[in-house]
Structure 1
Amino acid sequence: MASKYTDTTAENCGIKEPPTEIVNSGTIEVLKDESCILEKKDTEPEPIIGVKSVPEPIIGVKSVPEPITEDVDSGTKEPPVKLSKRAKREKRWERNRNRQREKRREEKKRRNRNKREAGVKTRRTLMSDVMSSKINVAIDCTYNQLMNEREREGLAKQIKYCYSSNRSSPSPLQLHIFGYSNGVIDTLARSCPEHSSWDIYRHNGEITEVFSTNHITYLTADSSNLITELSTDRCYVIGGLLDHNRHKGACLERADKMGLSHGRLGLDEVVELSGRAVLAINHVFDILLRYSSCKDWKEAIISCLPPRKISSIRTADQSESEEKSQKD
């Protein structure tokens, strides 16, 4: 008796199946069989040469447009940027700057021409007029090796103050700078670029090469010689040294080494100083400049010293009593 689940396939009945023929035709794979033909597409199609693939847009994501840039080949430009009011004003000022500068220059020339016609001396005429003052004052800038960079910058600043005071004075002194090439010119070039147009005397050599040894007085607070007046046939030298009293007596030592006479200003006879008796270079120059016009040491010293340096002003009786005690 045959089973209910009898296998009636061709293999069990002893019949062989014909071989399956596989044909590859590009993107279609054909399977031939007696009972069916199956067609199957490849999952990865071959790319087409010359056509750039474009990615499909992602659903739900908003595309961001690329920024507009200047294309050199096509000649397209970026859209113009809108300037602010301040930028427009600065651009307009830059455009008219040269014209305004030329206008101011012409106006200054016209004023100076009117002053010359009226007989009024201009500031440049006063500075270059040798008859304005025959008193020579020099700043000795040969102490470059004793100062650091910060002190050299302070020296250049004080020289600038001296020139400014001399320029604004109705009777300017004859200002000399010795040792000009000894690092001073480099420091002045950084702190004051317009120093090349100053109306001063510049010397690279020693003081004795310009003035006679018998006509030079070196000013130093360490000297015991008191200067009572300024002579027009002498040159008064101020030591260009900013060392905060590290090299005490350096100016006096240099004066003795060069065989020069030395002296000090009568500060102790006029005021009582609070602190050291060493003054800045521009303060010493201002005192000499003031005395050359007023001929009064007390007025010159009190008006030129900063108030922080003056502890009290001496009276005439105090000065006389101190002079008597020193003589005794």
Structure 2
Amino acid sequence: MAQMNSAEGELQLNGVSEEMDLLHIDVETDVVEDKPGREDAACSKNVLRKQRNWERQLAAKKNKRKEEKQRRKLNREQESGTSRADPPFTKRVMKAITKERLVEAQSTGLRLCVDLSMTDSMSDKEVSRLAGQLRRLYGSNKKATRPFHVSLTDLREDSRLYRECVRMNDGFLNYTMDITEKSCLDLFPPETIVYLTPDAEEALQTVDADKVYVLGGLVDESIQKKLSFSKAAELSVHMARLPIDEFMVKKNNVKNFHSKILAVNQVFDILLTFCNTGSWTEALQTWFPPGKGYVVAPEESGPLSVPQTQT
């Protein structure tokens, strides 16, 4: 009888032990399932997202500082004449440099106006050609180390030329230059204006910072002669011509053709080169079209004057 009671007791103890083991496993399982909670996972994702955003911001600031350093370096090199042939600057940096120079020229650059008040005398073909010349003029100014402060005057929004400039020239309305319906006399004192016309008696000797140089916006196909000369006389302003006679001579050609009439962008390129080099010989030799029947004189007399710039 005692043996039976002992066996029954052991069975009961074993049953209790097994039940406790099962309870222990359930408790541990519950604890393990609670540890990797959703709140902790969400918190980890937020931390990682913030970390990535911070890293991107740091990288953007670093790239911006690098581009700014490259821009300043290129400016210094070009001003000192030590720029390499193929500087390793990105298009974005070069665009920012160009924009900065053009904006600076609006307040410190030598001043030049293109008088567009005479376009009513031109055919549609000539108007289109003039729109192309204005695009090339702006392209030359963008490339210049020291650009001009350029103004397009007497350009009405309802004019054929305005519509043609918008149609032909991408980004025309965003050009970094003054585009106005006002005349040069509305913008500048008459005593500061020098109107460049090939029919003037006086040759231009230098480009001064306290003057405003005006180019007649014309295309020389069928318009009447001396139109820019008449316009300058009407405005009662000082007139001058490029020193072609002083630095160039006629060249024999089959057609015996000789002309001093230049496109607006060609005159601008000559002025721009003279301002950079101080040499009329170099400027005329570089930009005067060979087909006009003139060549630089063999006997160089040297530059007449080195241009003065604003400080």
TM-score normalised by structure 2 residue count? 0.63
The amino acid across from 2:262 in the alignment is: L
1:116 equivalent to 2:31? Answer no
**Number of matched residues?**
212
The amino acid across from 2:191 in the alignment is: N
- Aligned pairs for 1:1-328 (under 5 A) are 114-118=66-70, 119-120=72-73, 121=75, 122-130=97-105, 134-181=109-156, 182-244=159-221, 246-273=223-250, 274-316=257-299
Q: 1:154-177, CA deviations, whole angstroms, 9 ceiling, x for partnerless residues?
A: 000000000001101111111110
The amino acid across from 2:148 in the alignment is: L
Moved more, 238-247 or 110-119: 110-119
The amino acid across from 1:282 in the alignment is: N
Q: Quote the Cα distance in structure 2 between the aligned partners of 1:213 and 1:205.
A: 14
SS of 1:180's equivalent? coil
CA offset at residue 272 of structure 1?
A: 2.2
Given the superposition, is the C-alpha separation of residues 128 and 211 from structure 1 closer, same or farther in structure 2, using an over 3 Å criterion?
A: same
SS of 1:137's equivalent? strand
SS of 2:171's equivalent? helix
Q: Could you tell me the percent identity over the aligned residues?
A: 23
TM-score normalised by structure 1 residue count? 0.60
Q: Quote the Cα distance in structure 1 between the aligned partners of 2:123 and 2:184.
A: 24
Q: 1:129-170, CA deviations, whole angstroms, 9 ceiling, x for partnerless residues?
A: 138953111111111210011100000000000000110111
CA offset at residue 111 of structure 1?
A: 7.0
CA offset at residue 246 of structure 1?
A: 3.3
Moved more, 157-166 or 249-258: 249-258
Provide structure 2 residue ranges, at least 5 long, that are not aligned to the other structure: 1-60, 76-96, 251-256, 303-311
- Residues 111, 148 of structure 2: 8 Å contact kept: yes
SS of 2:295's equivalent? strand
State the match for 1:92 in structure 2.
Answer: none
The amino acid across from 1:202 in the alignment is: I
Supply the RMSD in Å over aligned alpha carbons.
Answer: 2.5
CA offset at residue 314 of structure 1?
A: 1.2
Q: Of Structure 1 and Structure 2, which has the larger fraction of its residues in strand?
A: 1
- Residues 216, 260 of structure 1: 8 Å contact kept: yes
Moved more, 207-216 or 181-190: 181-190
SS of 2:105's equivalent? coil
Q: Quote the Cα distance in structure 2 between the aligned partners of 1:180 and 1:191.
A: 16
Q: Quote the Cα distance in structure 1 between the aligned partners of 2:152 and 2:199.
A: 22
Q: Which has the larger radius of gyration?
A: 1
